[in-house]
Chains A and B, each alone.
Chain A
Amino acid sequence: QKEVEQDPGPLSVPEGAIVSLNCTYSNSAFQYFMWYRQYSRKGPELLMYTYSSGNKEDGRFTAQVDKSSKYISLFIRDSQPSDSATYLCALIGFSGGYNKLIFGAGTRLAVHP
Chain B
Amino acid sequence: DVKVTQSSRYLVKRTGEKVFLECVQDMDHENMFWYRQDPGLGLRLIYFSYDVKMKEKGDIPEGYSVSREKKERFSLILESASTNQTSMYLCASSLIRPGNSYEQYFGPGTRLTVT
Contact = CB atoms under 8 A, between A and B. Distances in A.
Q: Do A and B come from one complex?
A: yes
Interface of A: 4, 6, 8, 32, 34, 41-46, 49, 88, 92, 96-101, 103-106
Interface in B37-70: 39-45, 48, 50, 56-58
Interface in B57-110: 57-58, 90, 92, 98-109
B24 interface: no
Interface in B15-54: 39-45, 48, 50
B4 interface: yes
Contacts of B48: 98, 100
Given A96-B57, A98-B101, A101-B45, 8 more contacts: A41-B109, A43-B4, A43-B92, A45-B105, A97-B98, A98-B99, A100-B101, A104-B42
A23 B89 CA distance: 23
B100 A99 contact: yes
Contacts of B41: 105
B35 to A, nearest CB: 8
B58 A43 contact: no
Contacts of A97: 98
